[in-house]
Structure 1
């Protein structure tokens, strides 16, 4: 029974990690000259800077959906650029010219800037409750039989993975940085779990920073 319980805990933990990644904004910045800028009614070109096509597509789609709720039109790099466009690094003139042709007023980039892994030990569930009136304190054998399964229930190691993301917003008119935010995501689990939570947090932060309506 204890062994079944142990594996159940591991299974539940895995499900929680895959469904509920923990993401928080660790810092954000708004260019003083751009304060009061509102993105509602504007067009934003979204570029997820990763080679993983699945991540890029799902993340840009999720961000586009969240932005639409704030009346922001989005052009996704996955729709605008063909996969072979990234095979060779384009010149600045070529890249900016292509993005300008999309009708975008701003460019939003999302990139992974760091990843860390930390292993920690989770002890077994044996505890200490020296209450004399408990029946199993009546003798050694009853005490031993009660606690023996917990003595042998093993602890286990888990590895926490932390991803640090940076999101930047640039003005197409002058290529200047308008807004920037860094986030920390612990145990994102699956791609789907991450893209379901990250865009909401990002859009909420942009609203808090005055770029979108609350």
Structure 2
């Protein structure tokens, strides 16, 4: 019984550690700014552009972000559907594409940096509870089995910093800008889903996009 209790405790501790590490993977803002002088109407049609030399990742990002904007009630167009599949898109190409679809906003996201970090998780010692024994003598004879030690460990992980800017389609300064970070991102789809939710909520709060239509 004592050994079973110890195994249960160990499993719970390891599960808690796994949940804590998994929670670190969520995207979060590290800074955000809005042009408070902008008093114009909410943007209704946005071209989404991901800056990357990886064509597949860029398409997944633009598709998924545009999908999230549409679900929020904002018309959105993935940039690759308007522009050539190349990392460097000229200003003239972008202006022509935005003018053609009559978009009033351009959302641009790029990865600024990826940092490899190392951290240390201290070890711990766990003592099993006294319940589960029929007498003191059973407990006394098994006391040495009630201790479980987990050594400390060193682990490494990536921290990715992403910049997102919202521009008016006409000439003008940036309306909204934010830096966000995520730890050990799994894939482009997951990161885009987390980022789009953060950004859309912030743009809605800043009245840069309209509130969703009533259901």
Normalising by structure 2, report the TM-score: 0.74
Q: For residue 81 of structure 2, what is the aligned residue in structure 1?
A: 79
- The one-character-per-residue Cα deviations of 1:155-211 (angstroms, maximum 9, x if unpaired) are 433323222211111112114211112212223223332222221111001111111
Kindly indicate whether residue 109 of structure 2 is the aligned counterpart of residue 110 of structure 1: yes
Q: Is the 8 A contact 1:70 1:212 kept in 2?
A: no
Q: How do 1:24-103 and structure 2 match up within 5 A?
A: 24-39=28-43, 42-83=44-85, 85-86=86-87, 89=88, 91-103=90-102
Question: Per-residue deviation at 1:106?
Answer: 1.4
State the alpha-carbon separation in 2 of the partners of residues 134 and 54 from structure 1: 66
Aligned length: 199
Q: For residue 159 of structure 1, what is the aligned residue in structure 2?
A: 156
Q: For the structure 1 residues 80 and 105, does the alpha-carbon distance in structure 2 shift closer, same or farther, using more than 3 Å as the test? A: same
Question: Per-residue deviation at 1:124?
Answer: 4.2
State the alpha-carbon separation in 2 of the partners of residues 9 and 55 from structure 1: 33
State the alpha-carbon separation in 1 of the partners of residues 189 and 154 from structure 2: 25
Unaligned runs of 5+ in 2: none
Q: For residue 211 of structure 1, what is the aligned residue in structure 2?
A: 208
Q: Cα RMSD between the aligned structures?
A: 3.5
Question: Per-residue deviation at 1:108?
Answer: 0.8
Q: Which is further off, 56-65 or 155-164?
A: 155-164
State the alpha-carbon separation in 1 of the partners of residues 127 and 50 from structure 2: 51
- The one-character-per-residue Cα deviations of 1:21-52 (angstroms, maximum 9, x if unpaired) are 3122222222233134302xx22111101122
State the alpha-carbon separation in 2 of the partners of residues 61 and 196 from structure 1: 11
Q: For the structure 1 residues 113 and 136, does the alpha-carbon distance in structure 2 shift closer, same or farther, using more than 3 Å as the test? A: farther
- The one-character-per-residue Cα deviations of 1:129-161 (angstroms, maximum 9, x if unpaired) are 798x9768736xx444443xx34x544333232
State the alpha-carbon separation in 1 of the partners of residues 171 and 95 from structure 2: 11
User: What is the SS of the residue equivalent to 1:202?
Assistant: helix
Unaligned runs of 5+ in 1: none
Q: For the structure 1 residues 46 and 130, does the alpha-carbon distance in structure 2 shift closer, same or farther, using more than 3 Å as the test? A: closer
